[in-house]
Structure 1
Amino acid sequence: MQLDPSYDRQVRQVSPEDAAALVAAGARVLDVRTPQEYSGLGHIPGATLLPVQIIASAPAILEDPTAPVLVTCEHAVRSKVATRLLAQAGFTQVHELATGMAGWEGERAYEPQPMVGPSPWLFECGDLIPRSGRALDVASGRGRHALLLASTGLQVTAVDRDAEALARLQAQADRLELPVTTRVVDLETGTPDLGDDGYDLVVVTRYLHRPLVPQLLLSLAPGGLLLYETFLAQQAEVGHPKNPDFLLQPGELRQLVAPLEILREFEGEFDGQWIAAIAARR
């Protein structure tokens, strides 16, 4: 990913006082520090935690590119990377707290918060993810995984039936010079066209259509990695989804991905949700 320093001119440097006014007016606050800094040193109440190491996913996480966003870190160093990326991706009201949180004199909150953005299962399996090759992001939505994977050097194909979300993703990837190709595909009708076979990585998160799984397995190259994470049936007791078509039974994911070699798996409660996840190799 190549970030153009000329986009810094589109970022508005703001004082703590002006930042407080932005927050009071409803601006989204993006804190790009570590989780330890976020809770240990305190954060602006309501701030979204997205460490700078995974900032490539930010354009997919922030819903409205025309809405004001205030980016913070501790000393206004890491925030410069984040603001440059957002401006280059097409966000039009990007603000940076010029002093960093070190100069913030307003209210602070200290409660921990999960990182937004990519699935924690990707981080859990980060050492397994190839550093080059081709990746398929299934039911990609706005591309929180596609953008991040492309920023690591993978050639990513993102498929989804939401043409508007994919158009936005493609435009942002192009502006950031990231190798992402989008395809509008109805994954639940007939035999979906997933592009060429031979993917080194296939990622599926929070999506389940059981008839599609055999095609996903066939789309893997020899030695290719499947990362799959979605909801267990117990999730219906605490939230959505509730439709059993979108919920796995205990042990079902292992059966669905057979005969792949299972490298890692998880079933249980995570951050208040019931999740099944697997990493398996062809």
Structure 2
Amino acid sequence: MSHPLDRQPTAVLALGDLLDTRPSESYLAGHDPRAANIPLEELAVRVHELPARRASLRVYDDPPVRARWARSRLRARGFEDVAVVEASDRTAWIEGPSRVRLWSPHEWLVQALPLIEDSPTGQRRALDLACGTGRDAVWLAMQGWNVDAWDVLPDALERAADRGRRCGVSIQTRVVDLEPDALGMVSGEYDLVVGFNYLHRPLFEWIQRAVRPGGWLVYETFVEPQRIVFGKPRRRQFVLQPGELKERFAFWDIVRYAEGPSGPRRIAAGIVARSSRKPCP
């Protein structure tokens, strides 16, 4: 029997930019190996499987008018760089389910994961706080982590679970209002806690209890002057002050920290930190 530390990613889906909007039966019968499939008829309910709106997308369908309809619907949702393309060399097509995804997890998480060592238990138990539609949770599961995904919105969690199924992994979803009273007294249950674009300051203390000694935190959210420069988030309570995140985890081993511009219209603070190997008193 293999040890958890030796476990390889359970699903490998290449990142692509080609969207095939034909019906599923047509796609399964043969498709460009670089294409992901979201049928035109399902596009409105599977937008969580699309990339960021600033990304480039190529769309294929047969007949081509369906691809043009897809392009129109994507542009209406804010995707500006969308091109209709013709079929590639069909002799290179393959049958079966997609081996490609269009979406990506947060870049801070991708950069952090190689820095993270497994805990002494090797259980690889992770928690994604305020997970939304689950792009980070599912990506972690694809890397071999056992992931709990919490959010206050049931419909977002349904999409997160659906994303996982389509990627060949499972995550444990739970409807949770991320307030300390609702979270309860948790101590040392997780090897990794991740969180993005969510700030409730009392949660920092809970995180320090939830992570096992020797476990990890990967976290990134908005920091001033984000609100001043871009106007969102509107409330000051939802934006970190300069240096605040680093100070909150000053007694952890901070492996990586960054504060400043981190993308288009985004100023953030991010941390990758390891908890003390000794349990807190």
Partner-residue secondary structure (3-state), 1:164: helix
| Residues 211, 165 of structure 1: alpha-carbon distance in 2 compared, 3 angstrom cutoff | same
Question: Is structure 2 residue 226 aligned with structure 1 residue 182?
Answer: no
Structure 1 residue 264 and structure 2 residue 251: aligned? Answer: no
Distance 2:94 2:184 in 1: 40
Which of 127, 140, 144 in structure 1 is aligned with 2:114?
Answer: 127
Gaps of 5+ in 2: 1-9, 13-22, 33-59, 276-281
Give runs of aligned pairs for residues 49-198 of structure 1, distance below 5 A: 83=98, 117-130=104-117, 133-174=124-165, 176-188=167-179, 190-193=181-184, 197-198=188-189
Letter aligned with residue 269 of structure 1: P
Distance in 1 (CA, whole Å) between partners of 2:88 and 2:178 is: 40
Instruction: Compare 19-28 and 265-274 and name the one that shifted more.
Output: 19-28
1:213 equivalent in structure 2? 204
TM-score w.r.t. the length of structure 2 is 0.64
RMSD: 3.9
TM-score, with structure 1 as normaliser:
0.64
Tell me how far apart the structure 1 counterparts of residues 98 and 246 of structure 2 sit (CA, whole Å): 41
- Determine if the alignment matches structure 1 residue 279 to structure 2 residue 266: no
Say yes or no: does 1:244 pair with 2:231.
Answer: no
Q: Is the 8 A contact 1:185 1:193 kept in 2?
A: no
- Which of 76, 81, 84 is the equivalent residue of 1:46? 81
Q: In structure 2, which of residues 24, 27, 30 is the aligned counterpart of residue 11 of structure 1?
A: 27
Q: Summarize deviations over 1:47-78 as a string: whole Å, max 9, x none.
A: 49xxxxxxxxxxxxxxxxxxxx99x9999979
User: Which structure 2 residues correspond to residues 12-27 of structure 1 after superposition, within 5 A?
Assistant: 18=62, 20-27=64-71
Residue equivalent to 1:104 = none
How many percent of aligned residue pairs carry the same amino acid?
A: 34
Q: SS at the partner of 1:125?
A: helix
Q: 1:84 to 1:198 in 2, by over 3 A?
A: same
Distance 1:194 1:245, change over 3 A: same
Cα pair distance change 1:76/1:216, threshold 3 Å? farther
Q: Following TM superposition, by how much is the alpha carbon of 1:227 offset from its aligned partner in structure 2, in angstroms?
A: 0.4
Deviations 1:146-197 (A, max 9, x none): 1100011100000111112112322443465423101110003624159774
Alignment match of 2:246 (pick from 242, 247, 254) = 254
